[in-house]
């Protein structure tokens, strides 16, 4: 039963994040059961889990509505992250091991490479790398309550979709922030780690607001002038191939 519920959860979550099930659309237990090949009981369990994480709103005897995030909802999530994640980063700077730094560096470097190359499927890969980086970093904080709470915010659908609206310069800046956070952790400097994390979250919030306020312009080439200023700063953190 647990494996069937996990399967239904994974399939539904991916479809919501990818926009196959767009905001405000209604999905029924029958439809989900038929498309995932599981019975309705694990589907109900999956929907309850997705509701707790903010992906859907379950309506009795009607299935579920995919969450339609308002600008207010979006700002609430970013504001909570800007309060909590710097605290976790500061704690991690005092507790993380050399092995932990190496794990995070591998994720951050992979995200930067994806942001540079922008090969097919890069948005999904960046989203996953970003999520893993933030979750692992908070795990090194040593605060179990924080690590239980944050995944719901870090993996909220609006956060995963944010990358689809990023310009190349935004992607590079975000990845460069991760690399600078690594430098702060390596230096065991909690104030530096917290400051960069807060800037990282606020920059993401600003990008989200800009994408809501005006039509998205054609993507600038990764070697364009806006991206170049970010690339120029990267060698301080990024190992060369």
pLDDT at residue 89, as a whole number: 98
Higher per-residue pLDDT: 239 or 86: 86
Token pair listed for 222? 């990764």
What are 174's two structure tokens? 């975000």
Task: Identify the pLDDT of residue 214.
Answer: 56
The residue-averaged pLDDT of 4-30 equals: 86
CA angle 127, 173, 10 (to 5 degrees): 5
Q: Please tell me the predicted confidence (pLDDT) of residue 140.
A: 97
Per the structure, how many domains does the chain have?
2
Q: What digits encode the pLDDT tens for the residues 189-221?
A: 999 999 999 999 999 998 888 876 755 444 344
Has residue 19 got a pLDDT over 50? yes
Q: What angle do CA 154, 159, 197 make, to 5 degrees?
A: 60
Q: Which one is predicted more confidently, 103 or 75? A: 103
Q: In this predicted structure, what is the pLDDT of residue 143?
A: 94
Same domain, 62 and 130: no
User: What's the pLDDT band for 156 if we cut at 50, 70, 90?
Assistant: low
Domain stops at, among 66, 95, 110: 66
Segment holding 2, helix H or strand E? helix 2-18
* pTM of this structure: 0.72
Task: List the structure tokens of 23.
Answer: 């905001």
The model's pLDDT over 221-241, given as tens digits with 9 standing for 90+, comes to 444 444 444 444 443 444 433
Q: How far is CA 111 from CA 11, 23, 107, in A?
A: 24, 27, 6
Asked if residue 120 and residue 222 are part of one domain, the reply reads yes
- Whether residue 109 is contained in a domain is answered as yes
Please check whether residues 75 and 62 belong to one and the same domain: no
Distance, in Å, from the CA atom of 30 to the CA atom of 56, rounded to the nearest integer, reads 16
Average pLDDT over residues 48-69: 86
Token readout for 14 is: 């991916």
Q: What pLDDT is attached to residue 93?
A: 98
Residues 107 and 15 in one domain: no
Q: Quick one: 43 and 125 in the same domain?
A: no
With CA atoms as reference, report the closest residue to 190 among 88, 105, 80, 101.
88
Q: Which domain holds residue 38?
A: 2-66
Please check the confidence at residue 171 and state whether its pLDDT lies above 90. Answer: yes
Residues 19, 102, single domain; the answer is: no
> Are residue 82 and residue 197 in the same domain, yes or no?
yes
Closest CA to 165 of 204, 132, 198: 204
Looking at the structure, do residues 115 and 57 belong to the same domain, yes or no?
A: no
Quote the mean pLDDT of the chain.
Answer: 84
Binned at pLDDT 50, 70 and 90, residue 60 comes out as confident
What is the model's pLDDT at position 199?
97
Q: What is the pLDDT of residue 215?
A: 54
| Domain containing residue 158: CATH number | 1.20.120.530
Please, are residues 41 and 30 in contact by the beta-carbon 8 Å criterion? no
Q: What is the chain's length?
A: 241
Q: How confident is the model at residue 159 (pLDDT cuts 50, 70, 90)?
A: low
What would the mean pLDDT of 126-153 be, rounded to a whole number? 89
106, pLDDT greater than 80: yes
């Amino acid at each position: 039963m647990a494996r069937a519920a996990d399967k239904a959860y994974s399939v539904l979550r991916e479809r919501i994040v990818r926009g196959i099930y767009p905001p405000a659309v209604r999905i029924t237990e029958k439809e989900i059961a038929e498309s995932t090949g599981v019975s309705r009981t694990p589907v109900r369990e999956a929907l309850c889990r997705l509701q707790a994480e903010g992906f859907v709103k379950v309506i009795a005897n009607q299935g579920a509505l995919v969450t339609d995030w308002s600008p207010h909802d979006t700002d609430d999530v970013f504001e909570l992250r800007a309060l909590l994640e710097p605290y976790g980063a500061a704690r991690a700077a005092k507790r993380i091991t050399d092995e932990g730094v190496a794990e995070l560096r591998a994720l951050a470097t992979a995200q930067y490479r994806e942001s540079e190359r922008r090969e097919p499927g890069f948005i999904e890969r960046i989203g996953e790398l970003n999520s893993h980086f933030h979750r692992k970093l908070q795990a090194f904080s040593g605060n179990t309550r924080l690590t239980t709470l944050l995944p719901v915010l870090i993996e909220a659908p609006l956060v995963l979709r944010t990358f689809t609206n990023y310009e190349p310069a935004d992607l590079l800046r975000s990845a460069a922030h991760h690399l600078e956070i690594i430098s702060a952790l390596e230096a065991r400097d909690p104030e530096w780690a917290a400051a960069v994390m807060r800037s990282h979250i606020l920059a993401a919030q600003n990008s989200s607001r800009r994408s809501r306020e005006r039509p998205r312009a054609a993507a600038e080439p990764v070697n364009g002038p806006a991206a170049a200023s970010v690339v120029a700063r990267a060698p301080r953190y990024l190992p060369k191939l």
